[in-house]
């Protein structure tokens, strides 16, 4: 095992090798969280390279062009994966707002892993930390503390934010299959990219009328769709703490926004969520569109998930509101 402190004393070859292995095994030589606390926040370009590749990959469209099928696939993949981020990584793994079986829990983690936002345990640990320190100095992505750009994109490239603190997600870390997906968090994204390329090649050969290709499906289905998904999700870390209305006093800057809720399938009701984070639903009124909740409700009818936690009645107590609000 190589700690960061030790890694700093390694030769450049061993150090580069360690960082390279960490691309594939994120826990390899993972520095202790405590060690990292004293280090300054800064971009780690070696490990952030995969993130750069994701964005640069979008330029592949110059060579591959577009087709209705490829663009439609990108949009479809954006929505089903945004649902995975919000419904599973956020409302299940981070907040446990509903219950499911161990087998289906693995499927949810696998589905979430296609989003290229690391593993469910890292996501849950990071997000729980956000709620614990929201807009305080320790918050990893607070526009108030670190500026808009750092809260949107910078924080995820910082060495301090790479490791998972398994002690903060003990309820999830007891499942070895979830730890495996979290540790080897590039496996599923790489497999997704390869599958999209192979699908495109097959469609090129057997369904030429769709006018698509392997490269085109890779660029639209993986690079463009995933990059858009990243920025859509990141809007909640950045914009939802800057832009919108505040219904509740929460001690942080969280806000509610209809537009952000459309982009993120319901996560834009962020002030509601910061006040009442244990309920499955984030849009508390009928006009607060929360597509993730509707889809989770449908899933509950199939028996795959159950015990969706209701909105607490206190949420509708207008005396708790910052301004006058109508009854539901
Ligand atoms: Zn927040
Ligand atoms: Zn949350």
275-293: pLDDT as tens digits: 999 999 999 999 999 999 9
Ligand nearest to the CA of 234: 1
Show the tokens assigned to 131.
Answer: 């709620």
Which of 109, 104, 128 lies closest to 306 in space, CA to CA?
Answer: 104
Report CA(130)–ligand 2 centroid distance (Å).
Answer: 8
Q: Are residues 33 and 179 in the same domain?
A: no
User: Residue 262: inside a domain, yes or no?
Assistant: no
Residue 327: inside a domain, yes or no? no
For residues 160-194, one letter each, b for 16 or more C-beta atoms within 10 angstroms of the residue's C-beta and e for the rest, the string is bbbbbbbebbeebbebeebbebbbbbbebbeebbe
97 and 24 belong to one structural domain: no
What is the model's pTM?
0.92
Q: How far apart are CA 321 and CA 328, in angstroms?
A: 14
- Look up residue 289 and give its DSSP letter: -
Mean pLDDT of the 2-12 span: 54
* Residues 240/270, Cβ–Cβ less than 8 Å: yes
Burial class (CB in 10 A: 0-12, 13-18, 19+), 209: exposed
Instruction: Write down the residue that tokens 């649902």 correspond to.
Output: 83
**Domain identity same for 9 and 79:** no
Alpha carbon of 273 to ligand 1 centroid (Å): 8
Closest ligand to C-alpha of residue 92 is 2
DSSP at 82: H
**Token pair 């997704």 is at which residue?**
192
**Tokens at 148, concatenated:** 């808009």
Residue 264 is assigned to a structural domain of this protein? no
Please give the pLDDT value at position 16.
Answer: 76
Check pLDDT > 90 for residue 42. Answer: no
Ligand 1 center from residue 139 Cα (angstroms): 10
Same domain, 15 and 93: no
Q: Which two tokens stand for residue 183?
A: 């540790």
Report pLDDT for 7.
Answer: 53
- Residue 93 structural domain: 48-232+239-244+294-311
DSSP codes, 230-244: HHHHHHHHTGGGTSS
- 21/163 same-domain check: no
Q: How far is the CA of 267 from the centre of ligand 1 (A)?
A: 10
Q: What is the pLDDT of residue 23?
A: 79
Are residue 183 and residue 95 in the same domain, yes or no? yes
Answer whether residue 288 is part of any domain. Answer: no
Task: Note whether 251 and 259 are within 8 A (CB).
Answer: no
Structure confidence at residue 13 as a pLDDT band (50, 70, 90): confident
Ligand nearest to the CA of 126: 2
Residue 185 CA to ligand 1 centre (angstroms): 24
Q: How confident is the model at residue 244 (pLDDT cuts 50, 70, 90)?
A: very high
pLDDT of residue 5: 42
Hey, how many other C-beta atoms are within 10 angstroms of the C-beta on 148? 15
Please name which ligand lies nearest the alpha carbon of 144.
Answer: 1
> Among 23-32, 110-119, 154-163, which stretch is predicted with the lowest mean pLDDT?
23-32
Find the 12 Cα to ligand 1 centroid distance in Å.
39
Helix (H, G, I), strand (E, B) or coil at 160: helix
Interval between CA 199 and ligand 1 midpoint (Å): 37
Residues 73 and 175 occupy one common structural domain: yes
Q: How many domains does the chain have?
A: 2
Query: Do 159 and 178 fall within a single domain?
Result: yes
- The reply to whether 24 and 100 lie within a common domain is no
Residue 285 lies in a domain: no
H helix intervals, 43-97: 49-56, 61-64, 68-83
Distance 270 CA to ligand 1 centre (A): 6
Q: How far is the CA of 108 from the centre of ligand 2 (A)?
A: 17
- Whether 8 is in a domain gets the answer yes
Q: What is the CA(293)–ligand 2 centre distance, in A?
A: 14
The CA-atom distances, in angstroms, between 49 and each of 56, 90, 272 are 10, 26, 36
240 CA to middle of ligand 1, Å? Answer: 7
Compute, in angstroms, the gap from residue 283 CA to the centroid of ligand 2: 13
Q: Is 187 domain-assigned?
A: yes
Does residue 320 form part of some domain? no
Instruction: Please report the sign of the dihedral spanned by the C-alpha atoms of residue 9, residue 14, residue 20, residue 22.
Output: negative
Nearest ligand atom owner, CA of 237:
1
Burial of 122 from C-beta contacts in 10 A (0-12 / 13-18 / 19+): buried
Ligand 2 center from residue 246 Cα (angstroms): 16
Ligand that comes closest to the CA of residue 254:
1
Mean per-residue pLDDT for 204-231? 97
Ligand nearest to the CA of 123: 2
* Secondary structure letter of residue 9 according to DSSP: T
Q: Are residues 69 and 12 in the same domain?
A: no
**20 has pLDDT over 50:** yes
Residues 53 and 10 in one domain: no
Return d(Cα 204, Cα 43) in angstroms, integer: 40
Domain co-membership, 4 together with 130 = no
Tokens representing 92?
A: 């299940």
């Amino acid at each position: 095992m190589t700690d960061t402190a030790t890694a700093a004393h390694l030769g450049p070859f061993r150090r580069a090798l360690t960082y390279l292995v960490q691309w594939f095994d994120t826990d390899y030589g993972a520095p202790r969280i405590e060690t990292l606390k004293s280090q300054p926040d800064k971009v780690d370009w070696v490990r952030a390279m995969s993130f750069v590749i994701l964005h640069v990959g979008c330029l592949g469209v110059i060579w591959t062009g577009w087709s209705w099928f490829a663009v439609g696939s990108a949009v479809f993949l954006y929505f089903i994966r945004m649902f995975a981020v919000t419904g599973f990584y956020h409302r299940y793994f981070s907040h446990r707002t509903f219950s499911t079986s161990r087998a289906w829990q693995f499927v949810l983690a696998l589905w979430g892993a296609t989003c290229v936002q690391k593993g469910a345990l890292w996501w849950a640990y990071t997000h729980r930390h956000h709620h614990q320190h929201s807009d305080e100095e320790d918050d990893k992505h607070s526009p108030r503390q670190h500026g808009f750009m750092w809260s949107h994109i910078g924080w995820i490239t910082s060495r301090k934010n790479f490791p998972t603190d398994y002690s903060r997600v003990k309820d999830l870390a007891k499942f070895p299959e979830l730890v495996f997906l979290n540790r080897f968090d590039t496996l599923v994204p790489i497999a997704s990219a390869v599958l999209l390329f192979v699908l495109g090649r097959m469609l090129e050969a057997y369904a030429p009328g769709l006018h698509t290709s392997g490269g085109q499906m890779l660029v639209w289905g993986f690079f463009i769709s995933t990059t858009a998904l990243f920025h859509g999700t990141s809007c909640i870390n950045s914009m939802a703490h800057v832009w919108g209305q505040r219904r509740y006093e929460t001690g942080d800057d969280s806000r509610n926004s209809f537009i952000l809720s459309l982009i993120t399938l319901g996560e834009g009701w962020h002030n509601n969520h910061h006040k009442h984070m244990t309920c499955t639903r984030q849009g508390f009124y009928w006009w607060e569109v929360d597509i993730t909740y509707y889809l989770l409700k449908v899933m509950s009818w199939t028996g795959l998930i159950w015990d969706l936690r209701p909105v607490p009645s206190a949420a509708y107590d207008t005396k708790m509101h910052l301004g006058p609000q109508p009854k539901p």
